[in-house]
Amino acid sequence: MRTRIFAVGIGLICVVSVFSVASFALPNEIAYTISAQLDTAKNIITATETVRFTNRTGTTLTELYFHVVPNAFKRGADTKYQQELQRAGIPPALIYASPNDDAFIEIKSVTANGQALAFSIDDTLMRVALQEPLADGQTLELQIEFLNDLLEASPQAQWAATLAVRSGFRNSTYTVTLWYPKVVVYDADEGWNLDKYSFLGEFYGDFADYDVTLTVPANFTIGCTGTILSERVEGTQKLVKIQAERVHDFAWVAGPFYRLEETELPHNIRLRVLSLGLSMTTVSSDAVNFFSERFGPYAYSVVTVAQVTVGGGMEYPGIVMIAGGSTAEIVHELAHQWWYGAVGNDEMDEAWLDEAFATFSEELYDIERLNAPSSARSSYRFREPGIPVLTRADRFPSLRSYAQAVYTKGSGVLWMLRWVIGPETFDRLLREYYARFVYKNATTQDFIAVAEEVSAQELDWFFDIWLRTTKTVDFSLPVGTWRQLEDGQFETRLTILRQGEALAPVKVVLYLRDGSIVETRWDGQQTTAELTFKSASAPVQAEIDPDHDVLEEHRANNTLSFPAFVLQRAICDGG
């Protein structure tokens, strides 16, 4: 998701100070075979789904859990999502196109070996009771028949309401996401990860294989996760066979008005752009190439960029949804193909692993590819949000604080880490992290471990402070003197202070009269230090952290001018 900062209180009950920690996902082996028919007269999908599940939890299971997300959108339902909409003051008119419209999933049956299984649904979670315990290593095949009543998105949706709707249709274009029963991740510590669908928290899924057959009107064009194997028209219908391997979700778009542009990219990647008028191919191919070069090759053989009429910019494995069409939106969503898509994470517990990384990547693209100034970095927009980056997404009191902490501060933390360990080491870190966790779910602890290994530095102190606390730092330069030495050189002494409990090394520069610069790096571990510079020219001004490498909010006291120089210059100019 791409978000701009704006104030929408979602009025959650309280904010706990305990930071969130993601446990690691146990690698259950899952394969989905889904056959789905889109009925554009009734705006429903009827589908059968076969789930082949091999238990790799290390324990015997007596039940399976599935996400049934469309239940969140059921009008008037007592779901977490509906409660959040109410608290955020988002009326139904901004979500549903008409008072009669509704959206939900109806599970018609769950069977195994021809026997019906008992199931129950609570909010967006379905529990299926197994007839026989499933031992570790055993495989079970389930059949689920379901109906998905699609939401017709309100044309009035804007701001938060746009972000609140991710699946549905408008103007004959269908955006079908979060639409089928999906096995819940089983975590090492917590067991089933039973997070209900939330306004802010995004997703978490096991990497799995999908064979999907979609039946749509013959004049529809489809964009989807994975690779389209075949398309066959039968009368008024079109059957589209799709395969996707090692992805943690499957999403698709369909409609009669799409213009399809296909481009071959390096590394045998095919770019499919489905447009309703936006020009997206040039930016998309450039972004995919850039991220492939910087982080490692795109993880799949097809990447799809689709303009949508429902919701805002949004990422799904192998496909991104584009609403407005700005370069920033396209680049951000495509960056998620690395951070979210190929390297997955628990987006409720550790949203920064996808949103901060995508924001950082977007800024890196701006600076390195579009020659944006370094002020394009989030570091320049940093304001301490007062709630740690590593807070559960549904515990943020507002969309604004979520964006400030997870996107802006989170990206700023990555830029700061780049300063702490050096840009070349940081580049190696991202490549190594990507290579090691491609097709897997990663945790913050995994990233820290790779960062420490690649940099050969102990970095817990850094991540503890900047991700798990709201501690701040304020540097200042209260005193500075200079004198000319007998050899004609100049010696400048600066006293630097660090206030606040946060720690970071910082760059201190001295601007000289001849236009040159000398600089040093202070480790910032103590509260004060005296720094000595030698230079061939007299100092004009000293400045702490001129490049905003450190997340520091109060910068008015970061510079110190040398009045002696001003006086001297006045005399010279007067002469």
- Kindly state whether residue 414 participates in binding Zn ion, applying the rule CB under 5 A: no
Instruction: Candidates 303, 358, 387, 494: give the one binding Zn ion (CB under 5 A).
Output: 358
The verdict on whether residue 248 carries a ligand-binding annotation is no
Q: Among 170-178, 322-330, 356-364, 506-514, which window interacts with Zn ion (CB under 5 A)?
A: 356-364
Q: How far is the CB of 336 from Zn ion (least distance, A)?
A: 6
Give catalytic residue positions.
Answer: 333, 407
- Kindly state whether residue 254 participates in binding Zn ion, applying the rule CB under 5 A: no
Q: Please state, in angstroms and rounded to a whole number, the distance separating the CA atoms of residues 461 and 542.
A: 28
Nearer to Zn ion, 341 or 524 (CB): 341
- Any idea of the CA torsion for 180, 306, 365, 409, to the nearest 10 degrees? -40
The SS3 assignment for 292 reads helix
Residue 313-352 contact track with Zn ion, rule CB under 5 A, x = bound: ----------------------------------------
Q: Total residues at the site for Zn ion (CB under 5 A)? A: 3
Q: Please state, in angstroms and rounded to a whole number, the distance separating the CA atoms of residues 128 and 572.
A: 86
Cα-based distances in Å from 373 to 24, 404, 422? 38, 21, 19
Q: Among 355-363, 459-467, 517-525, 546-554, which window interacts with Zn ion (CB under 5 A)?
A: 355-363
Token pair in block for residue 569:
């210059």
Nearer to Zn ion, 180 or 352 (CB): 352
Nearest to 526 by CA among 498, 494, 491, 568: 498
Nearer to Zn ion, 4 or 267 (CB): 4
Q: How far is the CB of 315 from Zn ion (least distance, A)?
A: 6
The verdict on whether residue 332 carries a ligand-binding annotation is yes
Q: How far is the CB of 46 from Zn ion (least distance, A)?
A: 32
Q: Which helix (H) or strand (E) holds 563?
A: helix 563-574
Nearer to Zn ion, 49 or 355 (CB): 355
Q: How far is the CB of 202 from Zn ion (least distance, A)?
A: 8
Nearer to Zn ion, 65 or 360 (CB): 360
Angle between helix 352-369 and helix 327-335 axes, rounded to 10 deg = 130
The verdict on whether residue 336 carries a ligand-binding annotation is yes
Q: How far is the CB of 359 from Zn ion (least distance, A)?
A: 7
How is residue 96 annotated by DSSP? B
Q: Please state, in angstroms and rounded to a whole number, the distance separating the CA atoms of residues 84 and 156.
A: 19
Nearer to Zn ion, 321 or 421 (CB): 321
DSSP codes joined into one string, 393-434: GGG-SBHHHHIIIIIIIHHHHHHHHHHHH-HHHHHHHHHHHH
- Kindly state whether residue 1 participates in binding Zn ion, applying the rule CB under 5 A: yes
Token pair in block for residue 545:
């952290």
Residue 477-506 contact track with Zn ion, rule CB under 5 A, x = bound: ------------------------------
Q: How far is the CB of 335 from Zn ion (least distance, A)?
A: 8
Q: Please state, in angstroms and rounded to a whole number, the distance separating the CA atoms of residues 357 and 376.
A: 15
Q: Among 353-361, 477-485, 512-520, 545-553, which window interacts with Zn ion (CB under 5 A)?
A: 353-361
CB-CB contact of 335 with 311 (8 Å):
no
Catalog residues that contact Zn ion under the rule CB under 5 A.
1, 355, 358
